[in-house]
Structure 1
Amino acid sequence: MYVINLRYTGALAEIDDALEQHRMFLERYFAAGVFVMAGPKVPRDGGVIIASGIDRDRLDAILAEDPFAREQLAHYDITEFKATRLAPGLQLPEPSAT
């Protein structure tokens, strides 16, 4: 699994202009089973994405497709981790074949 920490490098007006395309990008990879959680940080200076079932090279290629990346509006810090404990009622995502 990966924690992707986005830090905005563009002005919020630029972020807002690209937000709908960014949301479509997120939706595509939620539907593909790669992203399992995402949302803005508080205060609104970036966001966080949790990704699973993918190797790092493929994740880097996917993140390069993000409109925030293409327009150089965000910097991405990526941390890989192995989830070994979960709160009761939660399940780890199934590994994908990608």
Structure 2
Amino acid sequence: MFMVITKYVKDIEEVDRWLPAHSAFLDRYYARKKVIFSGRRNPRTGGAILFRVDERAELDAILAEDPLQNKRRNGMRGLRDHPDKIRRGLRHIRREDIGQ
């Protein structure tokens, strides 16, 4: 899994123009079960997305499709994580528990 933390590098008005396309991008990857959660930071300076992917190359390929990323409207960093402990109701999010 990778946690992606973004920080807007353009004015919020510029970011807002691209949010519908960004939302559609996220919807595609929710449907493919690659995104576990996503949301805006508070205060609204960026966002966070938890991806269920194994390799950095796969994450980079996905992020290349994100309108906010590929139009340089935000900066990002991806942090790789393998959860050792997960609350019982959330255990299904681990790749090995889904059977991918």
After TM superposition, is the score higher than 0.5? Answer: yes
Partner of residue 40, structure 1: 40
When the two structures are superposed, what TM-score results if normalisation uses the length of structure 2? 0.89
Task: Quote the Cα distance in structure 1 between the aligned partners of 2:48 and 2:26.
Answer: 11
Once the two structures are superposed, residues 10-66 of structure 1 have per-residue CA deviations (whole angstroms, 9 ceiling, x without a partner) of 110001000000000000001011111100000000000001133210110110110
Q: Superposition pairs for residues 37-76 of structure 1, below 5 Å?
A: 37-76=37-76
Conservation of the 8 A alpha-carbon contact between 1:34 and 1:54:
no
Offset at residue 93 of structure 1 (A)? 1.9
Offset at residue 89 of structure 1 (A)? 2.0
Conservation of the 8 A alpha-carbon contact between 2:53 and 2:59:
no
Offset at residue 4 of structure 1 (A)? 0.2
Task: Quote the Cα distance in structure 1 between the aligned partners of 2:2 and 2:22.
Answer: 19
Q: CA RMSD in A?
A: 1.4
Q: Superposition pairs for residues 1-98 of structure 1, below 5 Å?
A: 1-95=1-95, 97=100
Conservation of the 8 A alpha-carbon contact between 2:2 and 2:53:
no
Alignment length (residue pairs): 97
Q: Which residues of structure 2 form unaligned runs of 5+?
A: none
Task: Quote the Cα distance in structure 2 between the aligned partners of 1:45 and 1:67.
Answer: 17
Q: Which residues of structure 1 form unaligned runs of 5+?
A: none
